[in-house]
Amino acid sequence: MRSKIILFVILLFSVIALSVCRYAHDASDTAFKEFKPSELLKKYEYYKNASAALDAKIADIGVYDVKVNTMSESYKGVKRQDWARDDREQLSTWQSEVAGIKASYNQLASDYNSAMSKFNYAFCNVGKLPQGAEVPLPREYKPYIYK
């Protein structure tokens, strides 16, 4: 009877040890996949591309703002219903395009901020900049555009 209990305890510890080894192996594989140089480069490139796209969206909004302001100034003191029809349509088109760019900006900023806050992207928060980089990537893009 005593030998059966000892055998059971040995078997139980063996199962536990194998489970621990399996979890450790899985953790090791996951860490390797997430932090290998090719994956880190891919993540860094995502941030660079997203940051550039967000900056371009802000610039595009600025271009549209100038267009809208220029047109509005040319009709200063004139009711919108008295504007030339094609100018009213053009202004509405520009305003719709700006709204779309702002919505697109907000979505990309949300994705960027979410990714930057994840544990496996924490590499972006430490260390030196890659060779040739002069400005660190923003840790998040806020505030979102509401108006």
Q: Where are the alpha helices (DSSP H) in the chain?
A: 2-35, 37-74, 85-116
Distance between CA atoms of 3 and 112, rounded to whole angstroms? 60
pLDDT averaged over 10-residue windows placed end to end, the chain, 147 residues:
79 77 77 79 87 93 95 93 94 96 94 79 57 68 69
| pLDDT given for residue 73 in this prediction | 94
Distances 109 to 22, 24, 94, 122, 134 between C-alpha atoms, Å: 38, 35, 22, 17, 22
Apex 106 CA angle, 100 and 111, nearest 5: 130
Please name the residue that has the structure tokens 């890659």.
Answer: 130
For the chain, the structural domain boundaries read 41-147
Distance between CA atoms of 98 and 79, rounded to whole angstroms? 22
| pLDDT given for residue 128 in this prediction | 60
| pLDDT given for residue 21 in this prediction | 77
| pLDDT given for residue 101 in this prediction | 96
Q: Amino acid identity, residue 113? A: N
Q: What is the pTM of this model?
A: 0.69
| pLDDT given for residue 81 in this prediction | 92
